[in-house]
Structure formats: structure tokens, C-alpha cells
Structure 1
Amino acid sequence: MSRPADNRAQFRPDDHPNDSFLLTTVVGSYPKPKWLNRADDLVDDADSKFDEENLQEAHDDAARVITHEHERCGLDTVVDGEVRRNEMVEYFAERIDGYEFNGPVKVWGHNYFDKPSVSSEVAYDEPWLVDEFEFTNNVASKPVKVPITGPYTLGNWAFNEAYDTEEELVYELAELVNIEIERLVDAGAQYIQIDEPALATTPDDHAIVGEALDRIVSGIDEDVRIGLHVCYGDYSRIYPELNDYPVDEVDLELCNGNYEQIEVFTDPEFVPDLALGVVDVHTAEVEPVDEIKENIKQGLKVVPPERLTISPDCGLKLLPRDVAYGKMENMVEATRQVEAELDSGEIDLEEPVPTAD
């Protein structure tokens, strides 16, 4: 088994309009319908008749809505918007034996995070995401991507009270993530994204992440596409080391920094496929198609079209829902236009792509 593997053709639609194909996707999270937030509150209200069964129905309805919204804007691979998840560490910590919660921790300003503690040895019990995937896969007419928080972030963003070192905890968690991915693959998942935002804030631990990824992909067939999402940071501190990671695709948040770091990935040659953020999730403005097209072309400085995936910079959940949809819709339209220009020769891959201002 070796990665990166040539496994992206399975996501090309049969009716794709162009010879060129740039895979379009989203990182994961999406604005929840306001009524779903109300439903989450009601189930915790002792005076409410709204129970867990009602909440399950509400989550199912929201997953249908967001999955269809992703399909309507033309994405090649879709996610349910992570509508069942509260927070990317908390959701999994609630499902992993060995974690406990002792109250929120202040992280910045007036923002609090319900940071868990690892109080005993971690262990795998019930599947974490299999039901979520199976539901979304039954709803969707497009391939479904499954984002899962990686073991480094699950360990780094928790208090470690049970292991001698954080590294030991991360490797144990990697074994659990491997079990979960095996379960997802058995259920039919073909596109898995490992989210490791903590790597951008502690880049000196890139070797630990690499070893954890080795454990995660052990035994996973090459036909299953494995992606890694790393949030914004000083990427020069983890490149070219990430070329050695056993993944098919690396998703980077570069639009937010106006592509100032794009040259980092041109020497030495970028080994995995590149998933390039082309719309900024930190601004509540919908970028015009022409602007997004120029952003897409930045990715062609790093990889050829057949190895370029197009996505937002990160999760969209903090945006107004109409803005999030507008960004995706324009992103897909820009991608299809770039494909057509590649087909016609309007984009010369031999000519250098202008650097962002």
C-alpha cells in the first residue's frame, strides 16, 4: 500500500460538462438551521415535552436540508454540514471511553471551550460516525465525504491526566480512529478527511502527526481517499515534511492569507494532491466568480489540474447561511469555468500564474 493513490476518478460525475475535472468539496461544518439550535435547547429544558426522539428527527431533517443544499449548489462531494456535532473535539470526547468533562475553560476574550480531560486509558466502544454517514449516504445522490477530528487534535486539545506523555495518548487515539475508519469503510465510505487544526499551532510536532497518520491508514484500502485538513498557520514549519504523510490529499487554508504562502509548496515538489481553499470563511461577503477563478489558478502553481481539489478555506459554520451557500455556489461556478478554459487552452499551464497582490 502506498499513498498518495490515484483514487479521485470515482468522484467525477458521469455527466460532468468538461474534459478537465477539478474535484469540488467542502471542509465540513456549515451553518445550522436556526430551528435546530432551538431544538437543541428544548431537549435540555425540563419543562419541555421535546425529547431525544424529537431531537433525532430534527437532526435528520437538518441533515437532509444541508446535504441537499450542498448538492443544489453543484458540489461533487457533499457533507451533512456536521449538523449533529456540537464541537469538533467535544463531540468525539463524549464517545470515547476515558474522557470526562469538568466545565468550560476560557480560551480567549469571552469565548469558552468545554475542554475535556483524559482521566483514564482511552478505548473504543460504540461507532462514532457510522450512523451519521449511513443516513447522509442514503439521502445524498452525490458521494459523501466524512470529516473526522484527528488524534493529535483530540489529544492536544484535552487535559492529559492518564498518560505519561501526550505523544503516547495521541498514538492510542490514532488506533481508535483507525478502527472508526474501518467501520466507515465497511459502511461504504470512500472519502475520509482527518482534521488536525492543532498542527498549525504546534508545528514542531509534525513527526508525531505523521506517525499517528501511519497508524490511522494501516489496513485501509488505497481506493479510499484519505485527506488531511490543516488550518491556517506558518506552513513553512511543516513543509516539506508533510510530503511524507501517508495521505492522498492535503487541504490548506490559504485564501485567508491572500496566498502569500503559496510559493512554500513549489520547492520541493508537492507530493499529495492539493485541496485549495478558494473562498475566505472569515468574511461574510460572497466573493465574485472572477475573483474565485484567480484564486483557483494559484493552485495550478503547485499541482496540475488533475491533482487539484477546490474547497472553502475551512468550515463555514460561523457564516450566515445565505452567505455560505453563495460562496459555495460561486465556487462551483468558478471551478467549472476554469475547467472549460483549461479545455480550450485559454489557461496556459506553462505560463507562470501571477502571484496574489
Structure 2
Amino acid sequence: MTREQFRPDDHPNEQFILSTVVGSYPKPKWLDRVRERYEESDDFDDANWEEATDDASRLITHEHERAGLDAVVDGEMRRNEMVEFFAERIEGYEFNGPVKVWGHNYFDKPSVVEEVAYDDSWLVEEFEFTNDVATKPVKVPITGPYTLASWCFNEVYDDDRALALDLADLVNEEIGKLVEAGARYIQIDEPALATTPDDHAIVGDCLDRIVAGLPEDVRIGLHVCYGDYSRIYPEILEFPIDEFDVELANGDYEQLDVFKEPEFDLDLALGVTDVHVAEVESVEAIEANIEKGLEIVPPERLTVSPDCGVKLLPREVAYGKMANMVEATRKVERKLDDGEIDARALREGATASADD
């Protein structure tokens, strides 16, 4: 089973609910100042920038471990925006300047000007560094091909589907190299699906290509945030993934019932802290949120994380959310072990309620 490999050897409870983060994390303020100097000054070279990002990656990886997470990332310290980072590394993309997306926010939206191609690895060095400094398993988030296709200007391909499928082949090649380097937990981020849910079949076809030839012990998660899940459920149950990652805390779990009928047979990665609220939820509140997940899947198929990336939060708030989430998770596990929580009763009660 792909999940059990992430249970710590010294895990204190019989039950194990996997705790992790979605990906991004607030960058240390000094790293933002260093980036400005790197981009604007001739006396700050690539070696200096690499040293700075190494330091930030080490710092945040250890911060995740100090919070007690079972699977960590480096907070994406080397990345800027989730599409730009990959478009800069894929042949066929070019940048022509930022475009306004909402309010006063701008996005350096790339264009595809020739057929996309794989040149050099995007994430292997990032993973190897994080894996070397971490004592916990490392998860690797990758922006998915559908989002990479949808959030750009397509000047070459007949449609976004054709572009997304070509990109899926490149993602498959990159994941193959990550697996060779030792990665066993890969998360595909597809936020664009939330805005165009009728394209779920394209995402499914892309995932078929992404997982082709991967070993069985590689865990593949799919993260989709801030959309109407009823428009892609139950179709997502046919996706070749181990885990479906959803944000529900922000909506006070109003969409939880979507996953009760038909039966949800994947692992569920549930957002149990709200990344849009710059306050640390109490351990008790997070425990209640975790129990919402037990209405859908048994503990051995539940992962908990924040709703989405936490990069826009104050760093002390982001850390507090993680630490309280881990504490709440361990408390729920103990209550399951002691019989204070009956997971089967929660699921059966939820199913009966959905049927009514």
C-alpha cells in the first residue's frame, strides 16, 4: 500500500492518519530581500542565490518537521508562481510581460509559441536537497499539465486538450526522474479544473499518461481547490490516483455530502485548516474537522492538510496551523484507539443521512 510507507517507525498510536501540507509556505522575509538583490544587482550572482535558497529550504523543511508533519516539503522556497516556475523550464514557452488578473494583481502569463519539449529536470535537484536535509518523507508538488495548458496563451496547438496531453508526457518524464532519485509521494496540482470542471475528462486522460510506467509504491495525489466538486464527482473516482485532495474548511464543509454518494473509494486528503483565515484554529476545532473526513473514509485512508498552500499567511500563523493540526491528528488517533470515536458509526451515519 502506498500510504503505509509514510508511517513513522516511532508512531505513538495504532491508528495512523497521514499529516502533510499542500505545498507553498511563507518565505522568510530575508529571502524576498535577497531575491530583489539577485534580480537587480550585478554583484549578487547565481552562487549567492543558490546558497540563499538552500538556506531557506533547509529552514522551512525543518520547520515542517518541528511541527510534526508526517510528510514534508520545503515550502517551495525555490519557486515563484506555480505556472511561471515550470513554464520557464519547458521548451516552447516564452514570456511577454505580466497581465492583469484581478484587482491590482498581475500574473506573468506565458505563451506557448512552439511545441513543448522536455529539456532538463525541473525538480530533481530540489527534491534531492530537501530529501538530504529531511528526516521525514518528502512530498513533491507539481503543477499539472491541464493547468499549465489552461493558464497560458496557446499559439500553436489546435486546442488546450492537445497541449495538455503533450505536457502530460513531459510531467511523466519528470516524475520518472524523481522516482529514480527516491521520491515516492507526488502531488499533481490542478486548480484550473475548479474553474472549468467540464474538462475533467481531459484531466483524466492526462493522468493516464502521467502515471504510465510508474512503480506501484509511488503515491499519486491530485489537488483541486476552490470549485464545485459536484461537477467532477463521481467522475474523479475513475482517475488513476491514490489520493484526492480537496479544500473544504473554507466552505465550512458544505460540500462534504458530495463525496457520500456514490461511495468514495480513493484515499481522501482533507483540508482541515482554512488558509484564508489568518488565525490559528484551536486543536479542538481541527479535531472536529478531522472527524468530518471520517464520515467519508476510514482512518487508514485519510490524509489531513491545510486547505491549500499557506504562502499568503503570516509565517507564525502558518506554523501554528500546522502544529495544531498535527496535535489534533494525534488526539483523534488516540480516541480511535481507545474507542472514544467510532469511525464506522460516523461513516454509516453519514451514509444514512445522505440517503435521507
In the superposition, relative to structure 1, how do residues 99 and 269 fare at CA in structure 2: closer, same or farther (>3 Å)?
same
Give, as a single letter, the amino acid of the residue that structure 1 aligns with 2:24: S
- Give the equivalent residue in structure 2 for 1:217: 211
The 2-side partners of 1:265 and 1:156 are apart by: 26
* Equivalence for 1:3: none
1:185 equivalent in alignment to 2:179: yes
Gaps of 5+ in 1: 1-5
Cα contact 2:294–2:346 (8 A) shared by 1? no
The Cα shift of 1:349 comes to 2.2
1:13 Cα deviation (Å)? 0.2
**Counterpart for residue 64 of structure 1:** 58
User: 2:242 is matched with which residue: 238, 248, 254?
Assistant: 248
RMSD: 1.0
Query: What does 1:1-357 correspond to in 2, within 5 Å?
Result: 6-46=1-41, 49-352=43-346
1:174, 1:18 → 2: CA distance?
Answer: 39
SS in 1 for 2:250: helix
Q: Deviations over 1:245-268 (max 9, x none)?
A: 000001000000000000100100
1:52 positional shift: 1.3
Query: TM-score scaled to structure 2, two decimals?
Result: 0.97
The alignment partner of 1:91 has SS state of helix
> Helix, strand or coil for the counterpart of 1:62?
helix
The residue identity in structure 1 corresponding to 2:40 is: D
CA distance in 2, matches of 1:112, 1:73: 33
Q: For residues 322-348 of structure 1, what are the alpha-carbon distances to aligned partners after superposition, in whole Å with 9 as ceiling and x for unaligned?
A: 000000000000000000000000002
Amino acid at match of 1:289: V
Deviation per CA, 1:273-303: give whole Å up to 9, x if none: 0000000000100000000000000001110
Distance in 2 (CA, whole Å) between partners of 1:91 and 1:26 is 19
Give SS of 2:259's match.
helix
Partners in 1 of 2:345 and 2:188 — Cα distance?
A: 34
Shift of residue 271, structure 1, vs aligned partner: 1.7
* Cα drift, residue 165 of structure 1: 1.0
After superposition, what is the alpha-carbon deviation per residue over 1:27-67, rounded to whole angstroms, capped at 9, x for unaligned?
00000000000110001223x52211101000000000000
State the SS of the aligned residue for 2:273: coil
Conserved 8 A contact 2:22-2:308: yes
Q: State the secondary structure of the residue aligned to 1:107.
A: strand
Cα distance, 1:232 vs structure 2:
1.3
Matched residue type, 2:249: C
Alignment partners' CA distance in 2, 1:183 and 1:349: 39
Structure 1 residue 352, shift from structure 2 partner: 3.6
Q: Indicate the SS of the match to 1:168.
A: helix
Counterpart residue identity of residue 16, structure 2: F
**Which SS does the other structure have where 2:203 is aligned?**
helix
Distance in 1 (alpha carbons) for counterparts of 2:342 and 2:56: 43
User: What percentage of residue pairs aligned between the two structures are identical?
Assistant: 71
SS across alignment from 2:40: coil
User: SS at 2:345's partner residue?
Assistant: coil
Opposite residue 58 of structure 2, the aligned amino acid is R
Instruction: State the shift of 1:222 in Å.
Output: 1.1
Q: Deviations over 1:148-206 (max 9, x none)?
A: 00000000000000101111000000000000000000000000000000001100000
Q: Work out the CA distance in 1 between the residues paired with 2:104 and 2:2.
A: 44
Question: Any gaps of 5 or more consecutive residues in structure 2?
Answer: 351-356
Query: C-alpha separation between the residues in 2 aligned to 1:14 and 1:67?
Result: 19
Distance 2:185 2:40 in 1: 38
Q: Distance in 1 between matches of 2:316 and 2:32?
A: 17
TM-score of the aligned structures, taking structure 1 as reference length: 0.97
- Runs of 4+ aligned residues of structure 1 deviating over 4 Å after TM superposition are none
Residue correspondences, number: 349
